[in-house]
Chains A and B, each alone.
Chain A
Amino acid sequence: MAVLLQSILSGMLIGGVYALIGIGLTLIFGVMRVINFAQGELVMVGMYCTFWVFVLFGIDPFLSVVITMPALFILGALLQRTLINRVLDALPQNQILLTIGIGLVLSNVAMLVFTSDYRILSTSYSSSSVGILGIHLSTPLLYCFLITVVITAVLYWFLVKTDIGHAIRATAQDRDAAQLMGVNVRHMGILAFGLGAALAGAAGALVAPTYYIYPQVGGAFTLKAFVVVVLGGMGSIIGATLGGILIGVAESVSGTYIGSGWKDLCVYVIFLLVLLLKPSGLLGKSRL
């Protein structure tokens, strides 16, 4: 029982990060109907940012969120302005290929600049754990989860309470109607892509103390983000949050009970089942 509870709780902690990456992806999809295959590579860029800020200036990875998020916001906004914006009306397949191309460029530039060495960011608390009622949780993952909760809460507040948030959600609901109501949908696209990238950057900063950092690390995150988003329902932010937690728990529990080599397999099988049985996801409207 303790083992089950332990693995569910650790799954929830890592699921928080998956949710963060997924929310970024779903925000971009909601506003622009573009599936960003470079989302994981943006996480990778966030991880390297965090790593170098830590190595050069000694800034704690969890504090460096305040640096990586704006940095990735600018990168995302630039990508949207210069590249993505031109294919908004193209075939979805071409949009996907464009973002795959962007991902390839990001990971290979990272390889040229930082070499393909695996890097480890080790802090004083990297391998420590916190014990609550006989359950041990890794300290960096716990911090990571708490910050994820804060970021998600701020994002909800921003989207639900502020005028710009309303404009973003209006654009996601109906692009043309939003435009007729005086919303500058072009700006909303740039903002949404920037926010999505910033969330990926935050996720990168938060997992930097627990993951190996290398140029190809993004691919795994991209795939997991898709699983999360499809599970929750494309375009639904609450769905992505829920999906992230569920996938984290599924991964952790199957890793404990079936074997760590099989956990990703279980995740993809769940993904295929959701695609086939309920392609609109748990909370999404059908968009097939």
Chain B
Amino acid sequence: MKTLVACIVVALALAVVPLFIESPYALHIFILLFIAVALGESWNVLGGFAGQYSVGHSAWYGIGAYGAFILLQQKQIAPWFGVWVAVALSVIAALAVGWITFRLRGPYFVLASIAVAEIIRLLSLNTKDLTNGAEGILAADLPPLKFGNTVITDWISKTPYFYMGLAMALFCIAVNFFVKRSKLGYYLQAIREDQDAAHSLGIPPTFSKNAALAISAACTALVGSFAAFYIGFIEPNQVFGIDVSIQMVLIAIIGGIGTVAGPVLGAVILVLISEGLRTTVAQAHLLVYGVLVIVVILVMPEGFLGFISQRLRRKAATR
């Protein structure tokens, strides 16, 4: 209950930020943060709860981005409708892939997930008619969002993106919260701890993992198309590249895997550090990701969240 109140307070505080902050750069950082939170939470459903370390989530991210972009470009369907088509496409593709790859375990699953993402990246590079190949797609001007005859936004300022990003991040957090406490969530956590034991107790492993993948892929595709419209340009290596997948894993790992708050913490840490360094060490902000993940795996395998709560508990015990 306390945490719920705290969450609502933080969300409300964030909601009034654009009223006070005018600087587009500050809003930009917030939007990046929301994207990172949503990505980490999306990955966490499959990677954290079910323990299926997919390093190929860029596939769903990219299908979300490309789906909505192509629908806008070639069929003139407004993104706020196209997004749902893209999400549906991504879920269908994810289920097809899950049906094939979930019979693999551990490192073999990791390798298969990378291969799937690579196959989709190469397909998008080679189907020029649909995706415009390596040249990528530049977003056309977005149609203004109207309610009746009143124009709500014309997408020029960053404020609408801020609120959409905030809503998306909150949605992904809520998804994690409810999945974790649902029957499916308990199934997934049982599978993570010991798949064979879970199976022998009557938990359907493949079905549960596919359900987690579908939820995870849907959220990822949603974030993918939001991020694509925010940036305004997509090309295969940028949205389907392994960097996106690795970034998603790292957000969850650094914060604390399999927890609802972990990816939020991980996103805050990563976005702040990499933006802080972008101004000083221009090129290699990914270096920080590498160093951080090494430190986290060696020193605090349960992420910052686990590390902090362990410290707090120890403090309480000594008192």
Contact = CB atoms under 8 A, between A and B. Distances in A.
A217 interface: no
Nearest to A35: B107
A271 B117 CA distance: 13
A105 B291 contact: yes
Contacts of B298: 83, 86-87, 98
A136 B122 CA distance: 29
Interface in B266-319: 281, 283-284, 286-287, 289-294, 297-298, 301
A272 B294 CA distance: 29
Interface residues on A, range: 35 or more
In terms of DSSP, what is the predominant structure of the interface of chain B?
A: helix
B151 interface: no
B110 A96 contact: yes
A83 to B, nearest CB: 7
A265 interface: yes
A104 B290 contact: yes
B71 to A, nearest CB: 25
15 contacts: A87-B298, A96-B55, A98-B298, A100-B55, A101-B290, A101-B293, A104-B289, A105-B294, A109-B284, A262-B126, A264-B118, A272-B100, A275-B101, A275-B111, A288-B105
**Which are the 5 A-B pairs with shortest beta-carbon distances?**
A104-B290, A101-B293, A108-B287, A105-B290, A101-B294
Given A261-B125, A279-B104, A109 B287 contact: yes
Given A97-B249, A108-B287, 15 more contacts: A93-B107, A94-B297, A96-B55, A101-B290, A107-B286, A108-B284, A108-B286, A112-B283, A112-B284, A223-B115, A226-B114, A262-B126, A272-B119, A275-B101, A276-B103
Contacts of A230: 108, 111
Interface in A221-271: 223, 226-227, 230, 259, 261-262, 264-265, 268-269, 271
Contacts of A30: none
**Among A96, A227, A262: residue with most chain B CB under 10 A:** A96
B119 A265 contact: yes
B115 A271 contact: yes
Contact of B119 (A86, A93, A109, A269): A269
Given A35-B107, A272-B112, A102 B294 contact: yes
Interface of A is mostly: helix
A268 to B, nearest CB: 5
A201 to B, nearest CB: 20
A67 B103 CA distance: 44
B290 A97 contact: no
B106 A93 contact: yes
Given A86-B298, A265-B126, A96 B293 contact: no
A219 interface: yes
Contacts of A179: none
B114 A100 contact: no
Contacts of B122: 261-262, 264-265, 268
B145 interface: no
A54 to B, nearest CB: 25
B277 to A, nearest CB: 11
B87 interface: no
Interface of A: 35, 83, 86-87, 90, 92-94, 96-98, 100-105, 107-109, 111-112, 115-116, 219, 223, 226-227, 230, 259, 261-262, 264-265, 268-269, 271-272, 275-276, 279, 288
Nearest to A259: B126
Contact of B242 (A87, A96, A219): A219
Nearest to B112: A275
B300 to A, nearest CB: 11
A103 B293 CA distance: 11
B125 A92 contact: no
A97 B254 CA distance: 11
Interface residues of B, number: 42
Given A83-B298, A111-B283, A100 B107 contact: no
Contacts of B203: none
B175 interface: no
A111 B286 CA distance: 10
Contact of B294 (A35, A98, A109, A271): A98
A73 B90 CA distance: 44
Interface in B105-135: 105-108, 110-112, 114-116, 118-119, 122-123, 125-126
B294 A96 contact: no
Contact of A94 (B111, B112, B301): B301
Given A101-B294, A105-B287, A268-B122, A92 B253 contact: no
B126 A98 contact: no
Contact of B284 (A111, A262, A276): A111
B110 A93 contact: yes
B53 interface: yes
Contacts of B115: 223, 227, 268, 271-272, 275
B287 A112 contact: yes
B246 interface: yes
Contacts of A93: 51, 53, 106-107, 110
A96 B107 contact: yes
Contact of B253 (A97, A265, A269): A97
A228 B281 CA distance: 37
Contacts of A259: 126
A92 B106 contact: yes
B111 A226 contact: yes
Contacts of A268: 115, 118-119, 122
